[in-house]
Chain A
Amino acid sequence: SQTIHQWPATLVQPVGSPLSLECTVEGTSNPNLYWYRQAAGRGLQLLFYSVGIGQISSEVPQNLSASRPQDRQFILSSKKLLLSDSGFYLCAWHTWRGNTIYFGEGSWLTVV
């Protein structure tokens, strides 16, 4: 069966510190991968998507970057966090053959 793992689940980071959130998918190959952010009281905002290894598309300019070093691994990073980076980050995936988009459990980031 297909599963998606996302970690860490929660983290508190000081302003200016780096960030690395990792997402891995099991049970499928060549998935489309997505990073979303959900700020308090707001809808899901697409940050990055990837259709293959090394292929990253950014939807909004921001302080974050994404990388896909392996087929089923998607990483969200920042060199220097801002207070506005706080939020709930979700990784998601699906394939052309499937009709469901699967979300990870999310990562709560609080920048202090």
Chain B
Amino acid sequence: KNQVEQSPQSLIILEGKNCTLQCNYTVSPFSNLRWYKQDTGRGPVSLTIMTFSENTKSNGRYTATLDADTKQSSLHITASQLSDSASYICVVEVMSGAGSYQLTFGKGTKLSVIP
């Protein structure tokens, strides 16, 4: 069964500090790996997307890495801000023959940034 496991489940950090969120997956092969940010009660918003051949992708203070050999991805947040408090979701995407994408979602890491 294809799975996406994220760790830690929750994380509390001080404002200004860096943090790294982990994503391990068993989905193989896959087309893309995405990281989303979801504020409470809102829809997820895309942060990064990487194809299976990419190793790193940055979006401002967010940097995602991908190691296809170990099937691991990480999301590094630099100089955290209070507004970074949210759930971060790792999504592995496989293109199906039916003309759509099959998405496997992790359960997310809940990040709380405190002053």
Contacts and interface: CB of A to CB of B under 8 A. Distances in A.
B14 interface: no
Interface size class of B (residues with CB under 8 A): 20 to 34
Given A49-B100, A99-B32, A43 B106 contact: yes
B60 interface: no
A98 to B, nearest CB: 10
A94 interface: yes
A43 B43 contact: no
A108 B106 contact: no
Contacts of B44: 44, 90, 103
B105 A106 contact: no
Contact of B43 (A45, A100, A106): A106
Interface in A8-59: 32, 34, 42-46, 49, 51, 57
Interface in A48-98: 49, 51, 57, 88, 90, 92, 94
B76 to A, nearest CB: 21
Nearest to B98: A51
A43 B108 contact: yes
A76 to B, nearest CB: 15
B43 A44 contact: no
B103 to A, nearest CB: 7
B89 interface: yes
Nearest to B9: A41
B43 A90 contact: yes
**What are the 7 closest A-B residue pairs judged by CB atoms, nearest first?**
A103-B43, A43-B107, A44-B105, A51-B99, A43-B105, A32-B100, A103-B44
24 contacts: A6-B43, A32-B101, A34-B103, A43-B89, A44-B105, A49-B100, A51-B99, A90-B44, A94-B101, A99-B32, A99-B49, A101-B34, A101-B46, A101-B91, A101-B93, A101-B101, A101-B103, A102-B46, A103-B43, A103-B45, A105-B42, A105-B43, A106-B41, A106-B43
Interface of B: 32, 34, 36, 41-46, 49, 89, 91, 93, 98-101, 103, 105-108
